[in-house]
Structure 1
Amino acid sequence: MDRNEFLKGLGLAGLTATVLPALNGCHKDDVSPVTTTSGSNGSSSCTVSPSETDGPYPLYTSRGSSIQRVDITDGKTGLLLNMTITVKNTKNSCAPLAGVVVDIWHCDKDGYYSGYAGQNGYLGTKDYTGFTFLRGRQTTDSNGQVKFTTIYPGWYVGRMTHIHVQIYTAANSANSNGNDSVITTQIAFPDDVTQAVYKTSLYSAHGQNTLTFATDNVFSDGYTNELCALSGDTTKGYDLTHTIYVSA
């Protein structure tokens, strides 16, 4: 889907997509580090996590072995983000769910996604056809967990900072369009941490995202069950933990 078409669906067609600055990543910043433990790590009750859109940039044609990896950076720079996602099954008293496939993807610190052309942003129009940066796939272990090494996502007009997540049974993991996924959802970020990150030298050229959860078309109906927990600081990076509840 073209980003302009997606933003049109959000009522933002007249806006120019703005995203984040290109700077070398994962080093000491010019601002004081902010040590944070923030967020809710998903719902504390045994209820299925919210379903959300996979748009505007899913990449169903590149979901083979090339993205079955822990480190999904592919050379992209930004503040280090170590992710641990836990999947639990509401049909089994919310026990950890082993053996399901977890796909994640998000934009780079400049607000662009891999795999698509014609992306308009503050650095101009970019063509990342053929790239798979910041996309990954792992299978949950006996604790229902997968881990990824990535960077703190940037932002673009119309959306709060987020990561897309899609979960499949092993039998349906080769699906080409997402219709057989167990869930398609998103991970939201605590805004106080995001603002601190966007003040660092890695992200500051683009400035702050003025959108709020109340005006985000995906999260405006509620985001607390999609809010991740973060610990760390703006010098060394963050550890993200999040639990996703599925009915499987």
Structure 2
Amino acid sequence: MGSFVRERREAILMLSAAAGAALAFGCGGSSPTSPTSTSPTGSGTTTTGGTGTTNAACSVSPSETLGPYPSLQDLIRSDIREDREGTPLQLTITVVNVAAGCAPLSNVAVEIWQCDVAGNYSQYGSQTARTYLRGIQTTNSAGEVTFTTLYPGWYQGRATHIHVEVASARRSLKVTQMAFPEDISTIVHTQGVYASRGVNRTTNASDGIFADSIANEMATVAGSPATGMTATFRVGVSA
């Protein structure tokens, strides 16, 4: 995995740098986005499990751009928070092989990267010396990896998301992205360290990445900002 990652990142670094000049990491407004099928309960600070169909349908996950920004080094770890603040998120990703009836795919590398509360990615821009909110794990016999991370922040022009790549034997099997239910994001983003930026105005439906594939890229999320959140996500590959 190590040499594959380095070679891939060297090839895309120039493209990422060019794309970065066009990205606006501005502060969002406070207008709430439209809700999805996952609903808050009780006092409005607790959420129930979502209905993301990534955990139901046996299909290959949509392929998406690497986006901003794949890691420049191999960070083999499960806890990717470092010193970042935010709502704790225990994220479990399951990789399945669609070519084998969606059997779990073990011993493949799963890498994730995401922005922090302020909308920044480590290793780029003003954060070149930092490595927060990035990590790689290898799937177990159940095709699963688990990361300890934070509920993602957001930046202008994109819905709230986490990047995911699955690779095996120096070969990328899938690059995709994980969406989050907007009503849950609204709850999280109006509390604690997220509150100063407010709610993400870009909905999943208006996002250029998710607009045509929301149902197949939605995470299933539960928990609350007070006690921490959990999320599950399934990636289907044809291996």
TM-score normalised by the shorter chain: which range applies? Answer: 0.7 to 0.9
Q: Give the residue type in structure 2 aligned to 1:18.
A: C
Contact 2:205 2:214 in 1 (8 A): no
Aligned ranges 1:120-199 → 2 under 5 Å: 127-169=126-168, 171-172=169-170, 180-199=171-190
- Change in Cα spacing, 1:55 to 1:74, as seen in structure 2 (3 Å) is same
Aligned-residue CA RMSD (Å): 1.8
CA shift, 1:228, in A, is: 0.5
**What is the match of residue 201 of structure 2?**
210
CA shift, 1:114, in A, is: 0.3
CA shift, 1:16, in A, is: 6.0
Q: Give the residue type in structure 1 aligned to 2:128.
A: T
Describe the superposition over 1:210-236 as per-residue Cα deviations: whole angstroms up to 9, x where unpaired.
111222111112211110101111211
Which secondary structure state, in structure 2, belongs to the residue aligned with residue 195 of structure 1?
A: helix
Unaligned runs of 5+ in 2: 1-15, 30-42
- Change in Cα spacing, 1:87 to 1:16, as seen in structure 2 (3 Å) is closer
- Aligned partners of 1:138, 1:57: CA distance in 2, in Å? 18
Contact 1:6 1:55 in 2 (8 A): no
Describe the superposition over 1:83-120 as per-residue Cα deviations: whole angstroms up to 9, x where unpaired.
11000001111100000000000001111000012xxx
**What is the match of residue 10 of structure 1?**
none
Q: When the two structures are aligned, how many residues end up with a matched partner?
A: 210
With normalisation by structure 1, the TM-score equals 0.80
1:47 pairs with 2:53? no
**What is the match of residue 27 of structure 1?**
none
- Aligned partners of 2:163, 2:68: CA distance in 1, in Å? 10
CA shift, 1:36, in A, is: 2.3
CA shift, 1:237, in A, is: 1.3
Q: Give the residue type in structure 2 aligned to 1:62.
A: Q
- Aligned partners of 2:165, 2:212: CA distance in 1, in Å? 20
1:96 pairs with 2:104? yes
CA shift, 1:195, in A, is: 0.3
Q: Give the residue type in structure 1 aligned to 2:26.
A: A
- Change in Cα spacing, 1:47 to 1:139, as seen in structure 2 (3 Å) is same
**What is the match of residue 56 of structure 1?**
68
With normalisation by structure 2, the TM-score equals 0.83
CA shift, 1:38, in A, is: 1.9
**What is the match of residue 17 of structure 1?**
26
**What is the match of residue 233 of structure 1?**
224
Moved over 3 A (4+): 2-7
Aligned ranges 1:81-120 → 2 under 5 Å: 81-117=89-125
Unaligned runs of 5+ in 1: 8-14, 21-30, 118-126, 173-179
CA shift, 1:202, in A, is: 2.0
Contact 2:112 2:134 in 1 (8 A): yes
Describe the superposition over 1:187-209 as per-residue Cα deviations: whole angstroms up to 9, x where unpaired.
00001100000111221100111
* Greater CA drift, 201-210 or 159-168: 201-210
Which secondary structure state, in structure 1, belongs to the residue aligned with residue 49 of structure 2?
A: strand
Identity %: 42
* Greater CA drift, 200-209 or 40-49: 40-49
Describe the superposition over 1:68-93 as per-residue Cα deviations: whole angstroms up to 9, x where unpaired.
11100011110000011000001111
1:76 pairs with 2:84? yes
Q: Which has the higher helix share?
A: 2
